[in-house]
Amino acid sequence: MSAILNGVFEPGFFASEPVRVAVVVGGAVALVSAVVGVFTVIRGQSFAGHSLGDLGTTGGSGAFLVRANPLWGFVVFAILGAGAMELFGTRRPRARDMATGIVLGAGLGIAALFLYLGTTESSTTGATVTILFGSMFVIRASMIPVFALLSVLALAIVALLYRPLLLSAVSEDIAHARGVPVRVVGVLYLLAMAVAVSLSCVTIGAILSTAVLIGPAAAALRLTKRPGLAIAWAVVIGLAVTWLGILLAYDSYYWPPTGRGWPVSFFVVALILVVYLLADLASRNKERRAGARALAASKGLSGRARPSESPAMGAG
Amino acid sequence: MFSGFMANAWIVATMVAVVAGVVGFFTVLRGSAFVAHAVPQAGFAGAAGAALIGVSTLAGLGTFAVISALSIGLLGKRGRHDAVTALALVFMLGLGALFLSWSEEYASATYALLFGEVLGVSSNEVLATAVLGVVCISAVVILYRPLLLASVMPEVAEARGVRTHRMEMCFLVVVALVTTMSVPVVGALLMFSLMVGAPGAARSFTDKPLGALCLSVGISMAIVWIAIAASYATNWPVGFFVGVLGAVFFIAGRGWVAWRRSAGRADDAEHVATGPVQLATATGTGGERT
């Protein structure tokens, strides 16, 4: 029995302090990202979610340049970026897409400058790698209270705005008619996303930040159409892939070809892709069965109905 | 400033600017900025993999760019397009991180792919860029009308027998090719800024598709030339100037629109009303609106 356990969990997994911090912080980040991410996917703001992470990276390199705490660099730049997107963007999705792109392009340019100035002045080239790819095993335990506070802030915004957010995602006109301040709700949501994304960016890196924001939520929304259930699924998937990814990265320490261990980010994104493809397959099967049933019931009259796209949450 | 290795830089950058202006115009029209951001970064993973097994960077870049573009097109047909793009992007980046962790030496050459190395372009690269550039431009010229129609009014295009999904796949492959030609010389991040900034600005100045296309190429070339000159003078990265200039041109375009709007409401009403009609007449349809 213990041989099997040792095979799955390399000796020392539970005793290692960095692993324990990674499991706690990674889990918290995955949880917050999954909840926020469900709304990101429903509202079709994946690009903004990813861009806020890259903008946070710009802030991180800026903070590195002036020797400030990187966390504040991430948070401040992500919020500034969210504000700029809101300023340029309109309600039309394509214009919003372009505005996001412009802000992202400018942010990446500034990041290039910060990294250039930072690396030529202090010659610590490793910083580029850490900032871009992040590492869960370098989190300091003393930062945990700040993370917890900001996570609660992001979750509180989403919880308070739950109904108006869903309503304005389904139809801005209906939300407007019902007296929902659509613009304010949008700005507040962007703020929550900026906080959540910058937190995940500083702890687990820009790649994983987008992965845990969009991946579990997208997979969950293939499994169910009900928002509450989708949030629960997303949280379960997010926690599972993050913890499994950490475990595999720890186990991979002696794997070929280098004997240095494989990166956590690879394991997590690979697991997320597998889960999404399985969820896609499951929803396709469900559709086919529902389609066959409808066909049998109506004797071929229900031709082109597509059960996966309810009017409430049509594919964006 | 124009001699030796700098001559190659000017030639390559101009070619990249023309292609970015043309393909970027459709990227912005279709709302595919996220794809234009994701595909070059996926190519980055391919380049890291190619460096690992010792084959040509261009081959790895091209393979991964085309694979990611096609899988976005296929998965996006059923799921939410932007979420699928995000998934493809992070998976490819994760793969890139894995390849980098496998390679023994410090992979500074691979990092150059992110931010570009326009000031160190060899003559061979100039040739490869030129060939791929011609392929991309001819593809856009051949597909011009159906692609424009499918981008602006998908329903009308569908009714007129244009296969919009096939059109999208073609467009994605063109984006992948553009990526392959541009990333080794200007970097993934810079190419993205160019493909969104220039056409985004151009669309504020004119509604005519062909006019906006030409203006997009012009602005794109202006951005690149100013950026290289400024980078040569200050030694700061080219990507910084391209990104910031893209935003500056875009803001100027928005300012122009706001100024026109305040200049006269009647004028503005005419301006708005003729927009879709001009696009429609240019694509050979009536004045149908979607």
CA distances from A312 to A42, A171, B200, B242 (A): 10, 9, 32, 41
Specify the pLDDT at position A63.
Answer: 81
Sign of CA dihedral A206, A208, A211, A212: negative
Short-list A1, A53, A43, CA closest to A230: A43
Q: What are phi and psi of A141, to 5 degrees?
A: -65, -25
Asked if A143 reaches chain B (Cβ–Cβ under 8 Å), the answer is: no
pLDDT surpassing 50 at residue B130: yes
- CA A7, distance to chain mean position in Å, is 31
% of chain A exceeding 90 in pLDDT: 22
Domain A2-313 belongs to what architecture?
Orthogonal Bundle (1.10)
Q: Where are the domains of chain A?
A: 2-313
**Could you identify the residue written with the tokens 């694509």?**
B283
Nearest-angstrom CA–CA distance, B262 and B271:
13
**CB–CB of A266 and B97 under 8 A?**
yes
**CB–CB of B90 and A270 under 8 A?**
no
Question: What DSSP letter does each residue of B224-285 carry, written as one string?
Answer: HHHHHHHHHHH---HHHHHHHHHHHHHHHHHHHHHHHHHH-HHHHHHHHHHHHHHHHHHTT-
Least confident span in A65-69, A209-213, A246-250? A65-69
| A:73-92 residues touching chain B, CB 8 A cutoff | 88
A315 → closest Cβ in B80, B91, B241: B80
A106 → closest Cβ in B31, B78, B246: B246
* CB-CB neighbours of A299 under 10 Å: 7
**CB–CB of A47 and B93 under 8 A?**
no
The 10s digit of each residue's pLDDT in A20-65 is 777 888 888 899 999 999 999 988 889 999 999 888 888 888 887 7
Among B41, B44, B93, pick the best mutation site for testing chain A contact (most A Cβ within 10 A): B93
Q: Where are the domains of chain B?
A: 5-282
**Helix/strand/coil for B121:** coil
**Structure-block tokens of residue B206:** 């004119």
pLDDT surpassing 90 at residue B41: no
pTM of the model: 0.82
Separation in Å, CA of B226 to nearest CA in chain A: 14
Nearest-angstrom CA–CA distance, A18 and A9:
15
Write the CATH number of the domain with boundaries B5-282.
Answer: 1.10.3470.10
Nearest-angstrom CA–CA distance, B247 and B198:
9
CB B191 within 8 A of CB B40: yes
Question: Alpha helices of chain A — where are they, by DSSP H?
Answer: 2-8, 17-42, 46-65, 70-88, 93-122, 126-133, 144-160, 162-170, 172-177, 182-223, 227-251, 264-298
Query: What is the pLDDT averaged over residues B231-249?
Result: 87
Asked if A274 reaches chain B (Cβ–Cβ under 8 Å), the answer is: no
Complex ipTM > 0.90: no
**Could you identify the residue written with the tokens 């875009």?**
B250
CB B65 within 8 A of CB B46: yes
Nearest-angstrom CA–CA distance, A197 and A191:
10
Asked if B232 reaches chain A (Cβ–Cβ under 8 Å), the answer is: no
| A:35-74 residues touching chain B, CB 8 A cutoff | 41, 44-47, 49-50
Specify the pLDDT at position B274.
Answer: 45
All residues of chain B having their beta carbon less than 8 Å from the beta carbon of residue A128 are 111
Asked if B34 reaches chain A (Cβ–Cβ under 8 Å), the answer is: yes
**CB–CB of A218 and B87 under 8 A?**
yes
pLDDT surpassing 70 at residue A176: yes
Asked if B81 reaches chain A (Cβ–Cβ under 8 Å), the answer is: yes
**Structure-block tokens of residue A165:** 């957010």
Specify the pLDDT at position A3.
Answer: 62
* Beta-carbon pairs below 8 A across chains A and B: 186
CB B223 within 8 A of CB B194: yes
Nearest-angstrom CA–CA distance, A265 and A209:
10
Nearest-angstrom CA–CA distance, A158 and A188:
9
Specify the pLDDT at position A134.
Answer: 53
All residues of chain B having their beta carbon less than 8 Å from the beta carbon of residue A213 are 86
pLDDT, averaged across chain A: 79
CA distances from A113 to A70, A229, B213, B227 (A): 17, 44, 30, 13
**Helix/strand/coil for B122:** coil
Separation in Å, CA of A187 to nearest CA in chain B: 20
pLDDT surpassing 70 at residue A316: no
Nearest-angstrom CA–CA distance, B238 and B222:
13
